[in-house]
Amino acid sequence: MKSMQESLIERLRHEQRKVLVDFDQVKAGREYAHFLNEEVKTPDVLMDEGYDPLHAVYLYAQNFLSVLVEQAVEFPELQEWVKLYVSLEKDYMPAGPPMSPLSRSYFFCWSSFDLPFGGHQETITDCMIKMTRELGSPDGLVETLEVMQQSRMGFYVHEGMQGEYIQLRELKTNRLCLCHCSSGYQGGCGEIWYIRLMPPLVEGYDYHVAFTTPYVVRNITESGLLKLIDRMIPKMATRGYPADYDSFMKWGPALKYWNEYLTMGYSNFAHDVIYLTGYPSTDPKAEYRNVEDMNSYPSLGSTLLGWQGALAPGIPKPATKKIVQFAGKKKKQKQAKQARKRNRK
């Protein structure tokens, strides 16, 4: 069975061999790669606008990825991901508090880097990395996307400031990281953060970037959280992943495990931080249920606003709108086809 990446490359090469290429539908080839590069702000432009240099590199890659996904969702090979994404976006409406406990930055990263689909359990970024190589994108950009794909969320303890950077210690691994927080939140010693760190990429930089809005977890202890993690790691085998900390934090013992934790644990927010209360569930299948030592959170209903409103500085235009529109178009086409069949009877 071919991987999704192999199927996409076959599709691209097939379209490139055509004498006449419909760029409105396919958007393939080196010319399109250059077009994409012009569509997003380069790191130099972002730095001129005041962004941290390392954050600017990652933000450029994120914007590039968002634009590329918008175009690629029309490929038949990606319809499974489109349906899955639209369903999850409808469930969580990830606009950030107060509309949803899931921030835009969290959901973008989770759906791009941690949401597997297809027989080979690939992510949309796995597929886009393969496409960017085929399209002749710069090696540095592709390598940045590969680093982002390997990233994961993690629990970290705030251990004070070192100059302008935050000193974080990761639970379980005890890895120490200097951190620039992209939301601007500085926090305080002893706080437990749930965040996604991006590692140093640019030569001469020795700090990480907190790429998602920090979730600060209250009413838990380090020892209690470590015990829960040790208890949950063996359950990763049920999803076919290695029973280790990295897999647990990236994939979770169930598809929506970490999303449900944010939903049920949500307690409050400020413009640069979101607060959670309590531990993740010990039940991998828990969805919208009360969990011991956690605040329950009302089921997200259809009255919640979508995430197409005003975006925070540095946040790319999400691919959601086009993906949802495309899925709606496909649904209408299917309904029309069924209606024609009925009329012929």
Please write the tens of the pLDDT for every residue from 211-257.
999 999 999 999 999 999 999 999 999 899 999 999 999 999 999 99
Helix (H, G, I), strand (E, B) or coil at 35: helix
* Per-residue pLDDT, 74: 83
Q: Is the pLDDT of residue 38 over 70?
A: no
Q: Are strands 273-277 and 165-170 parallel, antiparallel or unpaired?
A: unpaired
Residue 324 pLDDT class (50, 70, 90 cuts): low
Give the least confident one: 34-43, 54-63, 187-196: 34-43
* Per-residue pLDDT, 200: 95
Task: Considering only residues 40 and 271, tell me which one the structure prediction assigns the higher pLDDT.
Answer: 271
β-partners of residue 178 are 167
Task: Considering only residues 146 and 25, tell me which one the structure prediction assigns the higher pLDDT.
Answer: 146
How many angstroms separate the CA atoms of 199 and 177, rounded? 9
* Per-residue pLDDT, 330: 59
Q: Are 21 and 111 in contact (CB under 8 A)?
A: no
How many angstroms separate the CA atoms of 173 and 171, rounded? 6
Task: State the amino acid at position 264 in one-letter form.
Answer: M
Tens digit of each residue's pLDDT (9 = 90 or more) over 109-147 = 999 999 999 888 999 999 999 988 888 888 899 999 999
* Per-residue pLDDT, 95: 93
* Per-residue pLDDT, 151: 98
Percentage of the residues of the chain whose pLDDT score is greater than 90? 60
Tens digit of each residue's pLDDT (9 = 90 or more) over 299-314 = 333 222 222 222 333 4
Percentage of the residues of the chain whose pLDDT score is greater than 70? 71
* Per-residue pLDDT, 133: 86
| DSSP letters for 192-220 | EEEEEEE---STT---EEE-SPPEEEES-
* Per-residue pLDDT, 329: 60
Q: Is the pLDDT of residue 16 over 80?
A: no
| Residues 6+ away with beta carbon under 8 Å from 79 | 330
* Per-residue pLDDT, 126: 95
pTM passes above 0.85: no
Give the least confident one: 26-30, 85-89, 179-183: 26-30
Task: Considering only residues 264 and 23, tell me which one the structure prediction assigns the higher pLDDT.
Answer: 264
Task: Considering only residues 90 and 17, tell me which one the structure prediction assigns the higher pLDDT.
Answer: 90
Helix (H) / strand (E) element for 170: namely strand 165-170
Task: Considering only residues 150 and 33, tell me which one the structure prediction assigns the higher pLDDT.
Answer: 150
How many angstroms separate the CA atoms of 201 and 59, rounded? 13
| Residues 6+ away with beta carbon under 8 Å from 200 | 54, 206, 207, 208
